[in-house]
């Protein structure tokens, strides 16, 4: 199943190339059936990665805000937390 924005990938030539590559790797005949569907509730791999990154970002932000040292700096010096996007460690991109 693919999202409508990727429907252009569902052309016979692309599917045949993928089928052949899978068949060569698996050693058996492979037949792909690809459906275009929106709103299925199933996240694409890209959507799942984006959601996971957003969840990690929110978790990191909450941890910073809950840190007693950060809270002390805020109360004592009026410190403010700047929003900075989290980046994956090198080699894990």
Q: Report, as an integer, the average pLDDT of 28-38.
A: 88
Tokens 């984006």 found at: 50
Confidence of residue 30 (pLDDT cuts 50, 70, 90): very high
pLDDT attached to residue 10: 86
Element (H, E) at 3: none
Quick check: 93 pLDDT over 60? no
Quote the Cα angle for 74-79-83, to 5°: 110
| pTM, to two decimals | 0.53
């Amino acid at each position: 199943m693919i999202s409508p924005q990727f429907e252009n990938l569902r052309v016979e030539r692309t599917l045949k190339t993928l089928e052949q590559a899978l068949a060569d790797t698996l050693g058996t005949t492979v037949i792909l059936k690809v459906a275009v569907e929106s709103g299925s509730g199933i996240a694409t791999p890209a959507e799942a990665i984006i959601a996971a990154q957003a969840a990690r970002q929110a978790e990191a932000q909450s941890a910073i805000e809950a840190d007693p040292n950060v809270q002390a700096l805020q109360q004592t010096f009026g410190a403010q937390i700047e929003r900075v996007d989290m980046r994956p460690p090198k080699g894990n991109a």
